[in-house]
Structure 1
Amino acid sequence: MPVSLVVVVKPKIAGSILAANGRWVHGLFFNWLQQEESALGNAFHEEDEKEKPFTISCLQPLTSERIDFKGSLPLLASHLYWFRITSMHPLLDRVLQESFFRNKTELTLQEIPFSVENVTFSPRQHPWGATITWQDLDTNAPVNTVRIEFASPTMLKMARRPGEKTGRILRLPLPSEVFGKLAARWNGFSGDPLDPELLTALKENLVITDYALHTVAIKEGKGKNSWEWPCFQGWCEYTLMPSDLALAAVLQKLARFSFYSGLGFKTPRGFGQSRAMGISLPRF
């Protein structure tokens, strides 16, 4: 059952951290997982080349203000901040629901202490929290047009061509790449693989009909060991042309799934946080 857990925290002292801080939240998550379910944590570490069945966001303000992920995030002791963890793995789902920071009142990120104010799956308490069954992801009426928000810097890697050491990174969310990668994660984790012929037809018949995107380069590392990740952020609208009922059902299912799966490269470290805009998720 896909889940999205939101953790709301308050800094105990004023300060600042990098806005692209997902790797520190990732470290916090793995330290906790090693204590709670070390075998699962070890298994995730050993699967370096495989798609991970979870995503982790960056820490960000509870307000809806836009973040400059290239800079620093000021932390005020009187303000609330949040991050989230999604899971598409049954054991991790259970452990998150039963014990993630349930009995702990504080945590530390980049040497700054925080008090834990709330841990919730409820979208009534936070719009990025939710739980759903795989079957319920497929219950909405089919739609011919979806709009997907890329809420954090997102990278799409194309498959390697002969002679290439690594795949090329796209700065535009092409329909075939977006829905191909969502389908790969759906097939890998849902236990109910998509019809390959429907998926091929979906990718061939989707076009971009509207968008508001910008590019952003996220720097990691320091000095000579630093590098930049070429990303995009914003939203993009995709439409089936011509319309088709069976393809529309797959389209809305994958668009809703993006909320849990994330999109693209490095989703366990804050990149690729995404969601369908205007398509409802169940509210509990």
Structure 2
Amino acid sequence: MHRKTLVAFAALTGLTAAGTQAMPFGGGAAVTDRFGYSGTILRYDTLADARDGINSIDRIEVDDRDLSLSVTQDDRDYADANILMGSWWYTTDEQGRAGWGNTTGNTGVGFMQLFDDNGSTDTAVSMAFSNFDGTYYTDFSLSLSGENAAADDFARLSTYDNVNDGGAWYSYALSLTATGLQGQMTAPNIIEAGNHPTGVTGSFTGIFELTENQTSPANQGFYSVDFSLSMTNWAFANEGDLTGPYQVDGGIYPSEFRVLVGQVPAPGIPSLLGLGLVMLALRRRG
């Protein structure tokens, strides 16, 4: 079991430490199917070469694909999890068969999966709301890094095809800033937004070893991924036309962004929240 340490950070303008009160942070969540990704996969003969980024033997281009994201740490509603994967279940199939005809979230080169549903593989997680416009916190930042996510975490990367693509993420890192949110203080210790973001910048990188070999042993090896995030998303573009059991009124599932604050400033002490940055940083160490 990992030991978890909470670290709180606040950026202040024109205030000294003597004029503020520490605010312990208690958890957070980033859950959305709104984003997409694209980029490159490089193949290597050895793990050392993959880590050093030298002597690649193949380059695979990955076109726009849909992303499902669920990163939660000590959250109010969800257990700890680090889930990043193609949103394979969305479909416009007339018979409602999950994933049928979905070539950007389900089948195709570049499908990836990290399904750490107990939060055991992360080494650092941080979440923050910022850019308070007088009504809403419009920006949400997330940083996640981890290691050694393998078969128990359903680790997959489709480098050449969608079969025999299981293996292990030796390392992974996600960094993003979502914009266009309507984050508000919904309770004395909770800031959250329930709308889909309208913009995103960020990336996902990692080192993956493909180990399955039933039918494609030639594909075994080491791969590095470098994906950029975007708002290009096939499922969202088909809002209103999605079918099957995994949709809401013909669209994708709602987005949730949340930060739990352990304590708010006492009366008469300047509010850290009103200055535009609330940040949660949780670190795991062995």
The question of a shared fold, defined as TM-score above 0.5 by the shorter chain, is answered with no
More strand by share: 2
TM-score normalised per structure 1: 0.26
State the TM-score, normalized to the length of structure 2.
0.26
Higher Rg of the two aligned structures: 2
Quick check: which one's helix share is greater? 1
